[in-house]
Homo-oligomer: A and B are copies of this chain.
Amino acid sequence: MNINVGILGLGTVGGGAFQILERNAALIEKRAGCPIAVTRIATRTPSRAARWGADTAIVSDDVEAVLNDPDIHIVAEMIGGVEPARDYVLRALQNGKSVVSANKELIAKHGPQLRAVAEQNGVDLLFEGSVGGGIPLIKPLRESLAGNEICELMGIVNGTTNFILSKMTAEKSDFGAVLSEAQQLGYAEADPSADVDGFDAAYKLAILAGIAFDTPVDIDDIAREGIRGVSARDIEYATELGFVIKLIALGRLSDGGALQLRVHPTLLPKNHPLANVSDAFNAVFVRGDAVGDVMFYGRGAGDGPTGSAVVGDIIEAAKNKCRGVRNLDHAPQSKRAMHPFAAIETRFCVRMQVGDKPGTIAQIAGVFGDAGVSIESIVQKHSDGDVAEIFWLTHTTTQSAMNAAMAQFEQLEVVREVSSVLRVEGE
């Protein structure tokens, strides 16, 4: 049986996947057990298809021709965004085609529903390319680790913010300067919000957590904080105390079975496996009840890496088509209880500007104590005589206790400004 693939979208990912399918066709045929050919490509700009080496005869801007071609077995959706991608994916599934998607926003927002439609139609919906570029994540989580209850998942899943934080650390620069540089280099978008405000990481966490903890996840279930508030000073103190700062996407099962999901800048001990993941690399750290700690590491984006994930999924869907089966993928039915954000327990770092006079530290420490927050260490390094900067590292406490302390500091004259509040994980 020959397997025919229709491609929707010929940007970086679509072009990358197409090139791999062409270049490695012989090897892929051997591994899939059948020849796999791209027979149609729909793209908004057919004139640019030549750059990927695509035969112009199979390229057009006609999506319908792909969705309705009865000879196409697998549709690879690499358009991005929710609409019209969602409509295309739905119709491809309903037409009996397996679908491979690298679209994180679509899968994060509509994954469970689309997986149910795939199941009803007896076809596959695979989305390895939607998280972590070429790093095998979804399949190992779903299959290799299937014997485990996953207790925790912690990842660096956004290359742009990891690049910015790595550069801020290496060059002791502030966020704004490094962002501008990243934008000039093309590592950050003109509107950087999707990356630096943590939306992209939240989409990826929704997908990974949905698989790892077998539950539908709403984007609003994820507490989200970006890296705009991280300054060179925070990194300076963190380094001094033996930590690095990373934008971490975290999912964790509480003892009672409730799930906490959050994306925020996080201090990690510098010997943590994620601490050395720099620049545009991604990595996901998983803790299972049997396997213990495992980590997956690699390039989180790009035509080759993400194309590799898409082609891996295409090969899987092709093998299934040839044998008349589909992957066992039951869309999760019941939703896990969510752990309230105020109840999360973690250590905090608080950097604040205070009036530099006797009794200040005692007064602030009193507020922390009254709120039930106990302090592990205090660093005071910078002072202009009038205002001093203090960096507090707390023992484990709850978010609500920290919130209570923060509310008090707003009333406290000696606290001129709370400059940042960061969390510590991975100890």
Contacts and interface: CB of A to CB of B under 8 A. Distances in A.
Nearest to A19: B290
Interface stretch (A52-60, A91-99, A133-141, A340-348): A133-141
Contact of A144 (B33, B136, B307): B136
Interface residues of A, number: 58
Contacts of A128: 144
Given A128-B144, A136-B144, A273-B276, A149 B291 contact: no
A32 B291 contact: no
B297 A292 contact: no
A112 interface: no
A320 to B, nearest CB: 9
Contacts of A5: none
Contacts of A425: none
Contacts of A147: 20-21, 24, 28, 307-308, 311-312, 314-315
B298 A297 contact: no
A304 interface: yes
Contacts of A299: 291-294
A288 interface: yes
A31 interface: yes
A308 B295 contact: no
A325 interface: yes
Given A32-B328, A276-B276, A328-B32, A148 B308 contact: yes
Contact of A20 (B20, B136, B290): B290
Contacts of A305: 290-292
A30 B312 CA distance: 25
Contacts of A379: none
A149 B24 contact: yes
B28 A146 contact: yes
A291 B298 contact: yes
Nearest to A272: B276
A323 interface: yes
Interface in A1-51: 16, 20-21, 23-24, 27-28, 30-33
A236 interface: no
Contacts of A64: none
Interface of A: 16, 20-21, 23-24, 27-28, 30-33, 128, 133-136, 139-140, 142-149, 214, 271, 273, 276, 288-299, 302, 304-305, 307-309, 311-312, 314-316, 319, 323, 325, 328, 330
